[in-house]
Structure 1
Amino acid sequence: MTTASGISQVAVDRFVAAERERFLSCNPKSVALAERARHSLYGGVPMHWMADWSTPVPLFVERAKGARFFDVDGHEYVDFCLGDTGTMFGHSPDPVARALAEQAGNGLTTMLPGEDAVVCGELLAQRFGLPYWQVTATATDSNRYVLRWARAITQRKTLLVFDGCYHGTVDDVMVRHRDGQTVHRSGLVGQAYDLTEHSRAIPFNDVEALEAALAQGDVCALLCEPAMTNIGMVLPDPGFMQKCRELTRKYGSLLIIDETHTISTDIGGCTRLWGLEPDFFVVGKPIAGGVPCGIFGCSAEMATAMTRARQRASEESHGHGHSGMGTTLSANALAMHCMRANLEQVMTQAAYDHMLPLAARLAEGFRQLIGKHELNWSVTELGARCEFQFCATPPRTGAEAEAAFHDELQMALHLYLINRGILITPFHNMTLCCPSTTAADVDRLIATLDQALTELLAIPGARE
């Protein structure tokens, strides 16, 4: 049987079997740790999805720096995953490492602000163009809190998202679009109430569906990435994001832009690059250089509306209650000091000037490989990240991106790369370049993937 990727399942199975044997033979310490871990960690890992990589047992890391990490068996890897954007500017950047050491002896969390908070607010406003900011522990928290604000401000309950979106683990976004209806995301564990009552999912790049959803008059906000990145990369059609802004304003809904992944596009994100003018703006993962931290910004109009919403809630509760937002560790002193260092010294224009051309070089290398091996695949490129996808043309919707998935082939190629010291983002074929990535690293990834495809396609019946 030949899959949609153009490569037979039999060939993929033979290919991956040899790579699994190679991994187990070359990584005895990881194998031993995996056996030890299964007695104390659920699934043998501290978070269950860490067992979902392509390796037959988890790959245990010893240390990481810049664009590289080392496993417990002493192997060195070039890292194009970078913590799935969490370390977008490289592992342990020197300024952030110094900030960690500086703050370690000066208090980690106090529930009170310091000067770092003021400086960070000023830097964020300057960079992203929104005047007011709040700091959370993760982007999930930021999205959850912004959704509360949107519902309080508009006095509407329904959240609108795009099918295949990624906004962390906010309950309200765990929906998909199927046959014209909003349904629960498959595999959702322990969901106690019907998310479709107050969440609506529509296809990305579908202006007609967007207007129809907003025209119902019950949507508090459209929460979206300016380009989809988790279902496989999906870029907006020309003018689509501007249409999102136009239509949300027309129908009285707010626009929330989540740039937790797309911040790799530009120092001001797609928001500044494309002039998106959101009501709220969210970033998480990389904003503090890998230290857990999230932020959200808002316009002056939203800040005024937030104050009115708080006053209304206070009056309704007779002055007592809880906003439902904030955790004790939000905006802790350690995170604030690291975010300041990251914004001032790491997340710079010079960093982007280094990253973006390398990603373009990598994307072009992928295209040449696809042509060389006569594969009906495509490449999607956005700033410092790119992805090769098992479809002839880049997908326009989450459903199209998902239809191009071939999990077994993807995992086989990933395992081949890992066995030769290269890591790319799991679950799809996305790569990210950081300030420590070199042209030689990019060329090595291209050459190794070329070798993988050559070996795979040489298996008898691979193209049958």
Structure 2
Amino acid sequence: MSLLARERATFADRHPGSRAAYQRSDHLFGRVPMTWMNKAAGDFPIHLDRARGNRIVDVDGNEFVDFALGDTGAMAGHSPAPVVAAVTERVQRGLATMMPTEDAAVAGAELARRFGLPAWSFALTATDANRWAIRLLRAVTGRSKILVNSYCYHGSVDESLIVAGPDGRGVSREGNVGAPVDVTLTSRVAEFNDLDGLERELAHGDVAAVLMEPALTNIGIVLPEEGYLAGVRELTRRFGTYLINDETHTFSAGPGGATAFWGLEPDVLTIGKAIGGGVPVGAYGLSAELADALSGRGDLDLVDMGGVGGTLAGNPVSMAATRATLQEVLTDDAFATMIETATAFADGIQKIIEGYGLPWSVSRLGARVEYRFASPAPRNGTESAAGANAVLEDFLHLYLANRGVLLTPFHNMALMCPETSLADVARHHEIFDAALKELT
């Protein structure tokens, strides 16, 4: 605790401008634009001045190598030039018109090429994409429940805030704010990597869709075991349940996300954040069969008040940003470089951990890496949550931040963008090694 107190004092000394800005924010709930921004290892969050590539400069002039990258929102890097150019050109010609643009069709075609689903629709966030996909699948199946994995993350989707209790039965996730109904009325839950548990829950016959990440990410990276994802697909088909792959974070696996990397066949795919290069956007893709089934339902109001849509969804700026990001920034070549850099990051961290004889582990999903305070790495969300250590995590985050390196504030996750260099990786490793030397 003395090391943590020292790092907190250093953090306060290095960020007087951020502290003052935080203290002045009397009219912001929680003193931040969104309350999750208070998830910070220091006593206040760092306030941004500017960002470019994988560098951030705060209001005090401190520069950071950024491995957080907006928790995936800036996986393309901060303010990538092609996106800035496309958005700058677009904002001069109309922002919110409720009309389609050519950019949307091009972006949809590129998403179809990458992920294999032919019909796409756009939202402003992946949360919205998930909500709308859930409504569509409840409508087409006539079933009421959605199944998720324990400690999953799908934004603020009400149905996803369920975890497996000690007896394996679903209970509301601790801290769930203002649930409209008991979550067990809307949802079922199974542990990741547990096909028996999934089969047991699907056998009730009331699950419209399984909503899942191909690998858990927001509770820490939990990778699928051999045969697990194929088993999920077989079980969902056997029980007449649709499968939604949420690729918002697992997009790091490659140009076509985990779906292309592992050869998956979801009925729906949802995604957001990274595809807009930092501009708000979400999207969901439908299989041809599902798109046809929905289009043929005259009783469903898909164009007005049916609960699917949003005035700013598919707006010209988001579509211009998405087209530029997919065509010019997060390309196949860019992913190859990002994954190569992430591999070096993971290998280096593993070597350092082994050098200190720590019972920790390293997990990698394409361009994303995480070090865990457990070995072997957790195999499901409940194990991953149980392995967290808030004090140790805060110390490492502050130690790195005080020396110019940022990790994702929610866990020990590092993401590579096209600009992330091996020198940046080496800088992280040097500081990380020094932190462990002090700890041990």
TM-score (norm 1): 0.93
Q: CA deviation at 1:456?
A: 2.2
Q: 378, 382, 385: which one pairs with 1:399? A: 382
Letter in 2 for 1:153: V
Q: Report whether the alignment pairs 1:350 with 2:333.
A: yes
In 1, Cα distance between the equivalents of 2:315 and 2:63? Answer: 34
In the other structure, the counterpart of 1:226 is 214
d(CA) in 1 for partners of 2:193 and 2:296? 34
Q: In structure 1, how many angstroms separate the alpha carbons of the residues matched to 2:239 and 2:103?
A: 39
One-letter identity of the residue aligned with 2:60: D
> 2:162 is matched with which residue?
175
Q: Counterparts of 1:276-425 in structure 2 under 5 Å?
A: 276-309=264-297, 311-313=298-300, 322-425=305-408
**Aligned equivalents of 1:172, 1:416: Cα separation in 2:** 37
Shift of 1:320: 10
Deviations 1:15-37 (A, max 9, x none): 11001111111211112111111
Amino acid at match of 1:265: A
Between the aligned partners of 1:172 and 1:427, the Cα distance in structure 2 is: 21
Aligned to 1:65: 52
The answer to whether the aligner puts 1:213 opposite 2:224 as a matched pair is no
Residue by residue, what CA displacement relative to the aligned partner does 1:247-300 show, whole Å, maximum 9, x if unpaired? 100110000000000001110111111111110001101111110000000111
Please list the CA deviations of residues 151-180 of structure 1 after superposition, one character each: whole Å capped at 9, or x if unmatched: 011111110100011101011111111121
1:116 aligns with 2:103: yes
Q: Quote how far apart the aligned CAs of 1:190 are.
A: 1.6
- SS of the equivalent of 1:313 reads coil
Q: Is the aligned partner of 1:43 residue 2:26? A: no
Return 367-376 or 89-98, whichever deviates more.
367-376
Q: Deviations over 1:355-401 (max 9, x none)?
A: 00110111111111111111111111110011110011011010111
Classify the secondary structure of the residue corresponding to 1:324.
coil
Give the match for residue 13 of structure 2.
25
The CA deviation at 1:313 is 3.2
2:249 equivalent in structure 1: 261
Q: Which residue of 2 aligns with 1:274?
A: 262
Q: 1:385 to 1:321 in 2, by over 3 A?
A: closer
* 1:171 partner amino acid: D
* 2:61 counterpart (46, 51, 74): 74
Aligned equivalents of 1:308, 1:199: Cα separation in 2: 27
Summarize the Cα distance change of 1:121–1:23 in structure 2 as closer, same or farther, 3 Å threshold.
Answer: same
Off by >6 Å, runs of 4+ in structure 1 = none
Relative to 1, partners in 2 of residues 1:430 and 1:197: Cα closer, same or farther, differing over 3 Å? Answer: same
Q: Which entry has the higher C-alpha Rg, 1 or 2?
A: 1
* TM-score of the two chains, using structure 2 as the length reference: 0.98
Runs (5+) with no aligned partner, structure 1? 1-12, 458-464
SS in 1 for 2:299: helix
What amino acid is aligned across from residue 150 of structure 2 in structure 1? Answer: D
Preserved contact between residue 143 and residue 167 of structure 1 (Cα < 8 Å): yes
Paired residues of 1:30 and 1:59 also in contact (CA < 8 A): yes
Q: Which amino acid aligns with 1:187?
A: G
2:78 maps to 1:95: no
In the alignment, which residue of structure 2 is the partner of 1:431? 414
8 Å Cα contact 1:15/1:412 also seen in 2: yes
Q: Report the Cα distance in structure 2 between the residues aligned to 1:427 and 1:135, rounded to whole angstroms.
A: 27
Gaps of 5+ in 2: none
Question: Is the partner of 1:64 in helix, strand or coil?
Answer: strand
Which residue in 2 is equivalent to 1:6?
none
SS in 2 for 1:312: coil
User: Letter of the aligned partner of 2:19 in structure 1?
Assistant: V
- Equivalent residue for 2:240? 252
Q: Which amino acid aligns with 1:42?
A: F
Q: How many Å apart are 1:321 and its aligned residue? A: 6.8
Distance 1:142 1:320 in 2: 16
- Aligned Cα root-mean-square deviation (Å): 1.2
CA deviations on 1:70-93 (whole Å, 9 max, x unpaired) are: 011111100000000000010000
Counterpart-to-counterpart distance in 1, 2:291 and 2:92:
35
Give percent identity, aligned residues only. Answer: 48
Q: Aligned partner of 2:58: which letter?
A: D
Q: Which moved more, 1:39-48 or 1:412-421?
A: 39-48
Cα distance between partner residues in 2 of 1:359 and 1:273: 16
- For residues 144-159 of structure 1, the aligned pairs below 5 Å read 144-159=131-146
Q: Which amino acid aligns with 1:77?
A: F
- 1:133 matched to 2:130? The reply is no
Show the counterpart of 2:179.
191
1:461 counterpart residue number: none
